[in-house]
Structure 1
Amino acid sequence: MEDDLLPISALQHYLYCPRQCALIHVERLWAENRQTAEGRLLHDRADTPQIERRHGVRTITAMPLSSVELGISGVADVVEFRQEEGVEIPCPVEYKRGRPKAHRADEVQLCAQALCLEVMSGCRVEEGALFYGQTRRRQAVAFDDDLRLLTLDTIRITREMIRSGRTPLATYRAERCDACSLIDLCQPKLLGKGQDVEAWLRGQIAEEP
């Protein structure tokens, strides 16, 4: 059953670029560049499983997450458990190397972690945080109805794309492609006459009955 669960990281890959997601999760391709290497270094501490308690907050790093109901699984960088009226409420924290982005891919990835934590803990998770390496600051993320709906839609659409076994057409966009470690494998300038990320996502949602 666990083997059938969609990796939570695939949601972030999909919203960043459906083709990137397919190259990684359908064609099983990967390459590293400076950005991915820096991101890996940033995760080093969070990737070491440990539990600690400070000032009444229990913190777990590299915490496995899964929800059979949602069909997703992954590993949270950090989950903080805070006492509220005698109950420990989880708060996921995800580490990113860059800075806050215009799109919501990071927020969707974090919200998917929160949905897993809700299933696992039985508690409503209202908020999480994204820590960006360039700004060295946390950005609070509220798990409101709009973000939850976007996350559930992204889970469904990403799963459908991966199950289809089809890789979307390439579309070159400098702000997205030039920073992608897969650019040499993807060849978006050579192959690209496809749809952009937003058009692909809207089209997939619109096809649902």
Structure 2
Amino acid sequence: MDQDFIPLSALQHFLYCPRQCALIHTERLWAENQQTAEGLLMHDRVDKIHSGRRRGVRTACALPIVNPALGISGVADVVEFSDGSCPNVFPVEYKRGRKKAHRADEVQLCAQALCLEAMLDVSIPEGALFYGLTRRRVAVLFDQELRNLTCEIISATRELLLSGKTPLPQYLPKRCDSCSLFDLCQPRLLGRRKPVSDWLTEQTKEESCGDN
């Protein structure tokens, strides 16, 4: 990992699962499954469909973005620039699935807005997430709560990646079974292993009982 800049994708990976984040960005492991392959195809289509200017809106696709102060960088799927006396900058992130219970997608989008604000010296009040399964945009308000959460996740992700350590797995079926790194992570097997300290404690107890 570049010690100066955290990739925006790492923030989403961290919120989904810190171990997944470390496997991808520290150990450089990756594997494809149906979900990730469909996601790549969607992003390819986005780059081809959304381009140029239409109805007073100029659209930039696959736009490199960075916020040096926060130490984050990445690529925005789509950024819409509206014309008029008060030009508006509106980031749109494309996801293959549907709206999630956790806020990983919102944090990733908010981090894009923070990059664009730093680059363009503008205020960006909101953006949108487009989900492929529902074919709808979901508006995301970049309020102070989401901005604070995003900054907290940036700090936590940086701390994890700079530590160079990969957290032990914790098997959660809804999260783990759909992860493309399932076979590399081995959460069912490794998640059952007890820490060495617990094993030593058990052995000490057994020896003490045997002496009585």
TM-score by length of 2: 0.87
2: CA distance, partners of 1:174 / 1:50: 36
Displacement of 1:83 = 3.2
In 1, Cα distance between equivalents of 2:48 and 2:118 = 24
| 1:8-55 superposed Cα distances (whole Å, 9 cap, x missing partner) | 000000000000000000000000000000000010033469741111
Partner of 1:155: 154
Whether contact under 8 Å (1:49, 1:63) holds in the other structure is no
Instruction: Specify the code of the residue in structure 1 equivalent to 2:44.
Output: D
What number of residue pairs does the alignment pair up?
A: 192
Residue in structure 2 matched with residue 82 of structure 1 by the alignment = 82
Q: Secondary structure at the match of 2:76?
A: strand
CA RMSD of aligned residues (A): 1.7
**Which whole-Å CA distance do the structure 2 matches of 1:149 and 1:123 have between them?**
18
Aligned to 1:199: none
The 1:103/1:138 distance shift into structure 2, 3 A limit, reads same
Deviation track 1:158-181 (CA, whole Å, cap 9, x = no partner) reads: 001000000011001111101100
- The CA distance in 1 between the partners of 2:51 and 2:69, in whole Å, is 27
Partners in 2 of 1:43 and 1:3 — Cα distance?
A: 27
SS at match of 1:35: helix
Inter-partner Cα distance in structure 2 for 1:80 and 1:58:
6
Query: Could you list the per-position Cα deviations for residues 111-162 of structure 1 after superposition, in whole angstroms to 9, with x for gaps in the alignment?
Result: 0000001001111100000000100110000000110000000000100100
Map residues 110-149 of structure 1 onto 2, 5 A cutoff.
Answer: 110-149=109-148
| Structure number with larger C-alpha Rg | 2
Q: Which residue in 2 is equivalent to 1:19?
A: 19
Q: Which residue in 1 is equivalent to 2:104?
A: 105
| Contact 1:53–1:59 (CA under 8 A) maintained in structure 2 | yes
Instruction: State percent identity of aligned pairs.
Output: 65
CA distance in structure 1 between the partners assigned to 2:188 and 2:163 by the alignment = 25
The answer on whether the counterparts of 1:59 and 1:80 sit within 8 Å (CA) in structure 2 is: yes
What pairs up with 1:10-89 in 2 under 5 angstroms? 10-47=10-47, 51-83=51-83, 86-89=85-88
Q: Report the CA distance shift for 1:89/1:193 in structure 2 as closer, same or farther (over 3 A).
A: farther
Which residue does 2:174 correspond to in 1? 175
Aligned to 1:197: none
Secondary structure of the corresponding residue to residue 45 of structure 1: helix
**Which is richer in helix?**
2
Q: Cα–Cα, structure 1 residues 88 and 193, in superposed 2: closer, same or farther, change >3 Å?
A: farther
- Residue 88 of structure 2 aligns to a residue whose secondary structure is strand
Q: Which structure 2 residue ranges, 5 or more long, are not aligned? A: 194-212
**Structure 1: 5+ residue runs without aligned partners?**
195-209
The change in CA–CA distance for 1:155 and 1:49 in structure 2 (over 3 A counts) is farther
